[in-house]
Amino acid sequence: MKIPRRTLLSVPAAALAAAPSLGPKLAAAMSSKVLKRELFNEPVKIASVELLRNGKSFIVRARSTSGVTGYADAHSSVMSVAYPILLKKVAPLLVGKDARDLESLLEEVYLANSNYKWQGLPFWVSVAVVEIAILDLLGKVVGQPIGALIGTPRQQRIPVYRASSHRGNSADDEVAYLRKVVSETGATAIKFRLGARMRFDADSTRRDLALIPLTRKTFGPAFTIYADGNGSYDVPQAIRIGKVMEEYKLAFFEEPVPFDYYDETRQIAAALKIPIALGEQEASLRGFRRIIEQGIARVIQPDLLYFGGLIRSMKVARMAAAAGLVCTPHMSGGGLGFLYVAHFASCIPNAGAHQEYKGEDDSLPVHSATSSLESEKGMLTVPTGPGLGVDIDPAFLAKAQPVTA
């Protein structure tokens, strides 16, 4: 069969070469078991799963019948809207069950009552924060950090990057801001935003073309610089901007075109040397398999909350590892999101060079006996205590009230 030359050019050489052996490896990683049930000798029966609120903060509290309690910060901005989904479609399905079966229970939650029709950010965040509270509980039962329950703790000190959420300011103002957040945290990497977010405009492109060289000039040759296109370009514009990023040795180019433009992203990946990063909007394991198998991106970015928790995200990290790719989870919201990312990055084999750290956020007062929970000279220490390894301020918890739907 004669394959049109245009078709051949649109498929990355690496994907063509890897395709015959990669499929079975990805299938195995996707269906592999993550939670180490063998760590537990006895059933851990779930007595209750509650959603609590204090001010703007939402917290999940999971209790076992033997009196062990796990907590998770529940992505407050999402939960302020999505709480009925957690309370009606997720939490009730776990009460009375054995927490050692969490992995299969979450698969059942997806299928029960046609919940799969609800999948997307509000559903998966609800699943994720309940999962994390139960993982915190399980970690406390066996005296292990959650990384040891779902993987192999490999690094306790995580290099962090600071991301800017600005857009529309001048290149000079943006660099001044980036210098400030780098000096506050000692971060050895930054990520800034390009484009106009899911639409193109010429003014933002002029800012992009000034900002890319200015960040390199400001931070020097050894600094790691990432940039996020937030789906702002089409294929020719993305390739043009990507070539400039390559000239100034940026380290990855995130979401150059809208996130679900898979074929277009693959064309951009094939035309550029700079790695393409993708995944924060992805809700499907199969979707990630497609991204990895078809060479659409080389930096794989599940959002630990938007994607439904650490166990599902671990399967994505394993698929990426099977293809020789790095996994740099996306961090959404504030609160303890940075802590979830740090635990996850500590126990996967293919963590990207830096993980996102959003900086000071005291909306949920927590303390850790084994970590300052701050970036020190650009490094965040992963708590080694049981579960998440943090304690929420008891006075804050005492004022939190149960949420009902």
Q: Which residues are at the interface with Mg ion (CB under 5 A)?
A: 228
- 85 or 304: CB nearest Mg ion: 304
Nearest to 405 by CA among 61, 86, 77: 86
In sign, the C-alpha dihedral spanning 41, 46, 47, 50 is positive
Q: What are phi and psi of 249, to 5 degrees?
A: 55, 45
Cβ 193 to Mg ion, closest distance in Å? Answer: 8
- How is residue 243 written in tokens? 């070539």
- 174 or 228: CB nearest Mg ion: 228
SS3 108: helix
- 57 or 332: CB nearest Mg ion: 332
Half-sphere exposure of 207 (CA within 13 A, CB side): 22
- 131 or 228: CB nearest Mg ion: 228
Cβ 230 to Mg ion, closest distance in Å? Answer: 6
Cβ 298 to Mg ion, closest distance in Å? Answer: 15
Cβ 337 to Mg ion, closest distance in Å? Answer: 14
- 138 or 327: CB nearest Mg ion: 327
- 228 or 293: CB nearest Mg ion: 228
- How is residue 45 written in tokens? 């029966």
Q: Which amino acid is at 307?
A: F
Which residue is nearest to Mg ion, using beta carbons?
228
Cβ 356 to Mg ion, closest distance in Å? Answer: 10
Q: Are 59 and 392 in contact (CB under 8 A)?
A: yes
Cβ 384 to Mg ion, closest distance in Å? Answer: 30
- How is residue 124 written in tokens? 């998966």
- 195 or 309: CB nearest Mg ion: 195
Cβ 282 to Mg ion, closest distance in Å? Answer: 12
Q: Are 151 and 318 in contact (CB under 8 A)?
A: no
- 179 or 197: CB nearest Mg ion: 197
Cβ 299 to Mg ion, closest distance in Å? Answer: 11
Q: Are 314 and 332 in contact (CB under 8 A)?
A: no
- Please classify residue 191 by burial: count the beta carbons closer than 10 Å to its beta carbon, then call 0-12 exposed, 13-18 middle and 19+ buried: buried
Task: Give the integer Cα–Cα distance in Å for 373 and 203.
Answer: 39
Task: Give the integer Cα–Cα distance in Å for 345 and 80.
Answer: 28
Nearest to 73 by CA among 315, 387, 392: 392
Q: What is the DSSP letter of 89?
A: I
- 248 or 259: CB nearest Mg ion: 259
Cβ 293 to Mg ion, closest distance in Å? Answer: 22
SS3 50: strand
Instruction: Catalogue the E-assigned strands of 245-365.
Output: 252-254, 276-278, 299-300, 326-327, 355-356
